Amino acid sequence: MNPPKTDARRHHDPEVRGFASDNYAGAHPEVLAALALANGGHQIAYGEDDYTENLQRIIRSHFGATAEAFPVFNGTGANVVALQAVTDRWGAVICAESAHINVDEGGAPERMGGLKLLTVPTPDGKLTPELIDRQAWGWDDEHRAMPQVVSITQSTELGTLYTPDEIRAICEHAHAHGMKVHLDGSRIANAAASLNVPMRTFTNAVDVDILSLGGTKNGALFGEAVVVINQDAVRRMKHLRKLSMQLASKMRFVSVQLEALLAKDLWLRNARRSNEMAQRLAEGVRAVHGVDILYPVQANGVFARLPHDVSVRLQKRFRFYFWDEAAGVVRWMCAFDTTEDDVDAFVAALKEEMAR
């Protein structure tokens, strides 16, 4: 069969990159090649295909013999379905006030998942057993949503990292209170790359019950997965994924992307690259008088404070977002395809705008 002709034309300059989000990046060429490989012929729909079956083997190699992957469309879907799978209808989730599930998911965990979020202010985006205890109470109080899950993010929304020992302490504390632990791993690869440990070291090895595994921010075209480690949630996941509109009919095209990332080391190469570019960016920014980096740069994001008018002018040259506009705080993200030249050009532009 001859390849079909297409009238599609490129509508953007592929040389232009910004620092707004790692979601801005395209798909890695190896992921695109995997999609083309999976495209021929017919495969059974709704997850009974060969690619989804093989993905289970790969997931177990990363997250242990009891792990089971449920591919989904996106990160919000992964978080909402995962949290539903480990809560009852009256359950609540303890999370950091800055957590993505609280700040950036449009209320989906509460509106679509029927969950109550019990938030805790944190200085660096990280929960501790002591901070968890601010909301871990009232299990027998019918007037209060019952705390049933602790949700942490690795790496956090502020670009900081939990050590494996910190997550172990959280899991021990939560389990002692009869609660489960969910890990939002939209940037889990960046965390593992920065800590220089396998992903299992801070997930199944420290007794995390369920996690959201990110793909899109690390080179996939689309698609994430819920990875169930505690088998009690498997039966719920199977039904909740469909109920939550996260069951892909042509699931092979989600699974093969995760396979391309995880089967060898593409996930790690991509994460290391984006982390390295964030370090390069931070080093350049530290040399600019009047710009303050607010949090340790431990993954692929840099949070900084600078004059508001400088940020506005700089945004006309490079895309990035305000994190807290009133306070002059911005977020700069690096992606797997960010180059040294991209970073150096941005730092040069920052210096120019600060000098005006």
Q: What CATH class does 29-262 carry?
A: alpha beta
H or E element in which residue 355 lies = helix 340-355
Handedness of CA 170, 78, 156, 297 (dihedral sign): positive
pLDDT tens for each residue of 228-267: 999 999 999 999 999 999 999 999 999 999 999 999 999 9
**H helical segments located in 86-211:** 100-103, 108-111, 129-132, 164-176, 188-195
Q: What share of the chain is helix, strand, coil (3-state, %, to 5)?
A: 45, 15, 40
Q: Is 90:146 a contact under the CB 8 Å cutoff? A: yes
Q: Which pLDDT band holds residue 7 (cuts at 50, 70, 90)?
A: confident
- Asked whether the predicted pLDDT for residue 169 surpasses 90, the reply is yes
Strand-by-strand arrangement of the 301-305 sheet: 292-293, 301-305, 329-333, 321-324
Is a pLDDT exceeding 70 seen at residue 1? Answer: no
Write out pLDDT tens, residues 101-124.
Answer: 999 999 999 999 999 999 999 999
> What is the C-alpha separation between 310 and 328, in angstroms, rounded?
10
Percent of the chain having pLDDT more than 70? Answer: 99
Instruction: With a cut of 70, say whether residue 4 has pLDDT above it.
Output: no
Q: Which fold has domain 266-355?
A: Aspartate Aminotransferase, domain 1 (3.90.1150)
For the residues 167-187, what does the mean pLDDT come to? 98
Collect all residues with Cβ–Cβ distance below 8 Å to 211 and sequence separation of at least 6.
63, 82, 182, 183, 184, 185, 188, 203, 226, 227, 229
Domain extents for the chain?
29-262, 266-355
Residues with Cβ < 8 Å from 104, sequence gap 6 or more? 157
pLDDT, residue 322, reads 98
How confident is the model over 84-96, as pLDDT tens digits?
999 999 999 999 9
pLDDT confidence tier of residue 226, bands split at 50, 70 and 90? very high
pLDDT in tens, 270-302: 999 999 999 999 999 999 999 999 999 999 999
Query: Does residue 133 register a pLDDT over 60?
Result: yes
Q: What percent of the chain has pLDDT over 90?
A: 96
Residue positions counted in the chain: 356
Q: What is the pLDDT of residue 3?
A: 60
Residue type (1 letter), 255: S
